[in-house]
Structure 1
Amino acid sequence: MNRLLSVNNLNVVFNTFDGVSRVLRDISLEVGECESLGIVGETGSGKSVLSQSIMGILPVPGKIISGSIFFKGENLLSLSSKKMGKIRGAGLSMILQSPMTSLNPLFKVKEQMIEVLKTHSRLNNKEAVYRAEELLRIVRVPEAKSVLERYPFELSGGMAQRVMIAMAVSCNPALIIADEPTTALDVTVEKQIIKLMRDIMRRFNSSLIWISHDLDVVKQVCGKIAVMYGGIIVEIGSTEDILSQPLHPYTRALMDSQPSVSKRGRPLQSIEGFVPNMLNIPDGCIFDCRCLEKSGDCCQGTPPALVELDNGRRVACRKYL
């Protein structure tokens, strides 16, 4: 499989009044052509900052201090804002978790879709309107022509998310990043969006990064999973391997805390303790203060690096050194 995206030793900090927050530390991952990667972890693990770094939309005061992000063999971090703007939308696109706040409330759906299409293609106004209607039909929006004339507040949450998906695929991007795209939706609509995204990948031959805190959602969409905690990747491998035999103590704890029909009648598990303060990162393993499987001083000293095991599986835990 040809490599499409390669993130290498990425480090991101946020300069705050309280000090320097080391939000991402030595992040490395790869996504191949037509491949789907799920990035999971609890709130504050750095998932969204990673996606923003890849897209080149990291908000102030965030700053990439080292590392590289290669897309189709080109280092995105070395590009001018103008060239990055051309790649964003045509090569890379993003679906955000809150479509109602992502769409501009002052403009109709048609105007917003036309702007995207004309920015990244040579379509005239009439052709762009036709293409926008066609895209809405592809993402299964009923009465597509009517929806084009509506404002975002006139759409349901599920309908607005379909519009966002249509805009994301409008220029046939090689890689789509979906940041918690079903969080604000009910279960029925969530299932429809998941099925739609699988169909979109096949239709457009796109790769996908799906960011979520919900392993049950990720396993329905992604062939690989990267588990993040406290600004690092603690485990990465195929979805089947990780869900059938999680290796890192945090991955196991995260799976145990997921609600499931099979756990009916049993109390929900929680992960005791708190995510470490990124302003004052402790020495040793980042999961030390919450790990129920540590023995002796196994979590002390130098933080464990990702160690490659069989079948491309990687885990950051001293038990596997």
Structure 2
Amino acid sequence: MVARFRRSISLPGRNPKSDGGGRVCPLQPAKPPPARSTSLPSHAEQPAVAQVEEELRAAGVWHSSGAEPLPSSWLCSGLLRLELLLLALDEVLQLPQTQEALRRSRCGPSAVAEKLLSDLLLFADVHGSFRMVIVSLQELQAAAQAAVRRRDGERLASLGRSLRKAEKELTAMAPVALGKGEQEPHSSTPDGELAAILKEVSAATAAVSAAVFRGTAAAVSLAAAVSLAAAVVGSKSSSWAALRRRVPPMSSYSKNSVAAEEETAGKRSTAAMAALAELGECLSALEIPSERTFRRLINARVSVLNILTP
């Protein structure tokens, strides 16, 4: 599991040093408070900033909670947290102060706008790949269920290997997303406050995305394992059935062996059907939330491009 987010956002500037009564300590000259960044308004002036922080906290709570007994519910909840975070980000992007800072940063050393565009592009790309894998998995899951019902061991083995491949693709997406969460320290430029919030959003998006990808991969891994196990026994059971049609009546010992093989095949087929059914429910539940999250990422990037376009 990915470590929880390490930074916290503190927008208001620090107060001068004071004693317990709120007076400036006489032993040290009072220092004027640092000039507040003009990139963002205060919480009281604009609730959009507070909403982003609230969604960041909610994403952190979800991430630290761990998977629930129903994986589909937990995974969908994670995608919902991402969607709400991106909605809050869009509200901040509509602020005049944000738009001014993004335009100004394109000529400055902080390059806040370029970083935001780069992050959103990578997240949109990896979530687009996630959606494609979900569609492919739905086809594999349906075909695997049909193979289990027919006790087609060879076909089920092939589908099990395809599920393993999809699992590896999902697992590989996690470090790609997390790579964007590893950002540089906060900027000390006048737009550092905006940069800090955008980096927090990027880190949260990376961590939640990686957790969703790994959680989905875990569900696929279970389905692949039981499918491959059922495929081995299913192939043996089919071979025994073909053999019985070609040889004379068997001894009681052979009959017992065949019965044991068929019982094992039945148990593993039942386990495979249960795991595949659970995977099917998980994939169906993820279909719409993954689409919405992908669209939110695309829309956020389009919003930034529109801000930067004269």
User: How would you bin the TM-score normalised by the shorter chain?
Assistant: under 0.3
TM-score (norm 2): 0.23
Q: Which has the higher contact order (CA 8 A, sep 6+)?
A: 2
1 or 2, which has the higher strand percentage? 1
Identify, as 1 or 2, the structure richer in helix: 2
What is the TM-score of this pair, normalised by structure 1? 0.23
